[in-house]
Amino acid sequence: MFSFGQHPLIALIFSVVTLILIIQQSVTKHHLFKLKLTLALIVTFLITFILIMYNEIGVAEWLKNVSYELVDWALFALDIITVFLLFSTIDFSFTAIHYQEELNKTIDENKFYVVLDKKDRIKNISSLMLNDLNAHSNDVYGKNFFDSLEIKYRIVGLNGQELLKDDIKKYYQNYSKEAKKGSNNKLEITLQNEVGVELALYLIETPLFSGDKYQGRILIGEKKSEENLMGMESDLKEASEELDILRARFITILEKTNEGIYFANLEEGYIWFNDVLVKRLSLSGNNISLDEFYSLIHKEDINLYREKMTSNINEYDLKYRFNTGSSYIYVEERGKKISSGKSKELCGIIMPIDDYGFSKTQTLLDQLSGEPEMLARLKQLENDDKIFQAVVFKITSVPEINDKFGRAIGNLQLAQYVNFFRQNFVTDNQIYRTGGLEFVAFVTDYRKMDILKNNLYNGEKILHSKSTYATEEVDCEVFMGISSVDDELSHKNCLANAYKALKFASNPQFKSNFAYYKDVK
C-alpha cells in the first residue's frame, strides 16, 4: 500500500462539505455559482479517485513507476483549492447572514408583525408589537393572537364591521380551506384602549404554505391612533368635497357649452358624445362603440385616422369626412390622449366644418365692415395726417376650392386667411371686405409694416397657405398690392395706388404674387 503525506479521506471530507455549502448558497440565493461549483466537483472527483487508488492496491499498481512526491504535491494542491473554496463560501454565507440579521432587526424594531401557525398561535412577533402590548415574549408565544391583543386592548371590529374577539376567531376557523398561495389580503383590526379611545391595526396578511399544505400566515403592518384616523378621514372628506366641486363644474360645462365634446375609452371600446354632437352629427345616442364610430368615417380617411390614433403624439388635430346619415361632411377633431394606469382615453372637441363654416366663420366675415366704413376710415387717416400703408388683397383660389371641396371649405379657408392677416398685421380691426373675395386693410404700426415686408420678401409663404382635410390638401393662393402714403407724398392716392399694385401682382407675366406700388409705378 502506498503511503501519502496525508490520508486523502481528510481532503475528501473538506471537499464534500465545501460542495454542500456551495449548493446550499445557490439554492438560498436563487443563483448558481457555476465557477465555484465546477471547481468543487472537479476537486471532489480527483480526491475520490486518489482515495480509490489508496485503498485498492490492485488499481494503484500502475503508480509504482510514478514519483510519490508528485502525488503528494497533487494532493496538497487539491487541499489548497478546497480550503480556498471553503473559506470563500463561508465568508459569503456569513455576509448573507449578516445582511439578513440587519434586515430582520430593522423590521423587528419598526414594524408590527407576527407569525402565526395554522391554529392562529403566535410563533414569532416583533419587538415593536411586544412593547406596544406591554408584554414579554413568554406571555404571547404559543398563545392565540387575538387573545394576546386583548392583553392591552379590546377588539371591536374587523375590516369596517363591528365584530368582537370571539366572532373573529370563529371567522378564521375555516381560513385554512380558503387561503390561496401568493395571495395578500388587507386586514384592519379596530381596537379600543383602556379609556375607550379607538385605534386600528392596518396589516397585510400573507398565508404560508409547505407544498400545497397551509401552515399559517404572516401579518405585517402598522398601528394608527384615533388622531391619525381622524386626520385620514378629514383628508378623505376634503378630497371628496373637491371632487364634488370638480364634478359639478364639469357637468355644468357639458350642459352649457355649444362645443361638441367627446370621450373615447380605447380599452373598453366605446365613445361618448355630448348632446351637441349627437344633434350635429345625427348620432343614434350619446354612447356608441368605437367600431360603429369608425364605420361612419369615410373609407378613404379611416386609415389616416387610425394611424393618428396609434401614433406616439399626445395631442392631435385632424380633419376627416363623417357620415351624418344623408351625406358626408368634413369635421375637425382636436383632442388629447390620456393614460391613467391601464386606462387609455381620448378626449377633445369635434367641430363639423359645414356648421363651423356657415356659423362661426360666416359670422367672422360678417363682422367685417364694408366699403363705406373703409372710405370713412381712409378719410379719417388723411385728416389726421398719419403715416400708413393701404393693403388690397384678393383670395383667388376660393372658387376652385368651392368646386372641389364644397362651399363650406371655401368659406373656412377665406375666414381663416382674413383672421390670420387681421391678427398679425393690423390694429383696431382695420380690415374691410370690399368684394366677395377682395379685402382692404390699413397698416398703421411701423413694426407690422416691417413684419409684412419681411414675410413677403422671404418666400411669399403667407400668400400660399395650405390646409389638410383628411387625405386632401387644400392650397390657398392670394394676390396682394401695397402702397404707402409717402410713395407720392400724398394720402389721397394711397388706396388707388394699392389697387394699381394689385393689378400688377395679378398679371400672369408678373414674377410675384405681391407688388409694392413704389416698385412698379
Boundary-marking domain end, from 355, 388, 417: 355
Tell me the average pLDDT across 114-130: 87
Note whether 2 and 63 are within 8 A (CB). yes
372 found inside a domain = yes
Which region holds residue 257: left if phi is over 0, alpha if psi is between -120 and 50, else beta?
beta
Q: What confidence tier does 354 reach under pLDDT thresholds 50, 70, 90?
A: low
Q: The cell 487539491 sits on which residue?
A: 78
Q: Are residues 92 and 128 in the same domain?
A: no
Q: Are residues 340 and 384 in the same domain?
A: no
250 found inside a domain = no
The per-residue pLDDT for 490 is: 65
Q: Are residues 85 and 156 in the same domain?
A: no
In percent, how much of the chain has pLDDT > 70? 79
Q: Are residues 144 and 75 in the same domain?
A: no
What's the structural domain count of the chain? 4
DSSP state letters, 193-243: -TT--EEEEEEEEEEEEETTEEEEEEEEEEEE-HHHHHHHHHHHHHHHHHH
- Is the pLDDT at 519 greater than 80? The verdict is yes
- What is the per-residue burial (b if ≥16 Cβ within 10 Å, else e) of 295-328? ebbbeebbebbeeebeeeeeebebbbbbeeeeee
Residue scoring higher pLDDT (244 or 265): 265
Q: What confidence tier does 132 reach under pLDDT thresholds 50, 70, 90?
A: confident
Domain carrying residue 51: 8-108
Cβ-based neighbours of 430, under 8 Å, separated by 6 or more: 377, 441, 442, 443, 444
The per-residue pLDDT for 65 is: 44
102 found inside a domain = yes
Tell me the average pLDDT across 320-329: 83
Cβ-based neighbours of 420, under 8 Å, separated by 6 or more: 462, 465
The CATH number for 434's domain is 3.30.70.270
Q: Are residues 405 and 488 in the same domain?
A: yes
Q: Are residues 92 and 119 in the same domain?
A: no
Angstrom distance (rounded) from CA 11 to CA 415: 97
240 found inside a domain = no
For residue 349, give the nearest of 379, 373, 327, 316 by alpha carbon: 316
230 found inside a domain = no
Q: What confidence tier does 480 reach under pLDDT thresholds 50, 70, 90?
A: very high
Q: What confidence tier does 440 reach under pLDDT thresholds 50, 70, 90?
A: very high
Residue scoring higher pLDDT (514 or 300): 514
Q: Are residues 516 and 381 in the same domain?
A: yes
Query: What is the chain's mean pLDDT, rounded?
Result: 79
Tell me the average pLDDT across 97-110: 59
Residue scoring higher pLDDT (356 or 142): 142
Apex 416 CA angle, 412 and 422, nearest 5: 145
Q: Are residues 386 and 503 in the same domain?
A: yes
Q: Are residues 445 and 480 in the same domain?
A: yes
Q: Are residues 489 and 409 in the same domain?
A: yes
- Amino acid code (one letter) for 87: F
Q: What is the pLDDT of residues 171-199, one digit of tens each?
A: 888 888 888 887 888 888 888 888 888 88
Boundary-marking domain end, from 108, 128, 146: 108
253 found inside a domain = no
Between 407-425 and 398-405, two packed helices, what is the crossing angle to 10 degrees?
140
The CATH number for 320's domain is 3.30.450.310
- Is the pLDDT at 5 greater than 80? The verdict is no
The per-residue pLDDT for 106 is: 64
Angstrom distance (rounded) from CA 54 to CA 5: 12
The per-residue pLDDT for 351 is: 85
Tell me the average pLDDT across 4-30: 68
117 found inside a domain = yes
The per-residue pLDDT for 225 is: 62
The CATH number for 148's domain is 3.30.450.20
Beta pairing partners, 328: 323
Q: Are residues 269 and 290 in the same domain?
A: yes
Tell me the average pLDDT across 474-492: 83
The per-residue pLDDT for 76 is: 67
Boundary-marking domain end, from 168, 196, 224: 224
Q: What is the pLDDT of residues 375-391, one digit of tens each?
A: 888 888 888 878 899 99
What is the chain's percent helix, strand, coil content, to nearest 5? Answer: 50, 25, 25
Q: What confidence tier does 258 reach under pLDDT thresholds 50, 70, 90?
A: confident
Q: Are residues 386 and 429 in the same domain?
A: yes
238 found inside a domain = no
Three-state secondary structure call for residue 351: strand
- Is the pLDDT at 357 greater than 50? The verdict is no
Beta pairing partners, 265: 270, 345
The per-residue pLDDT for 394 is: 92
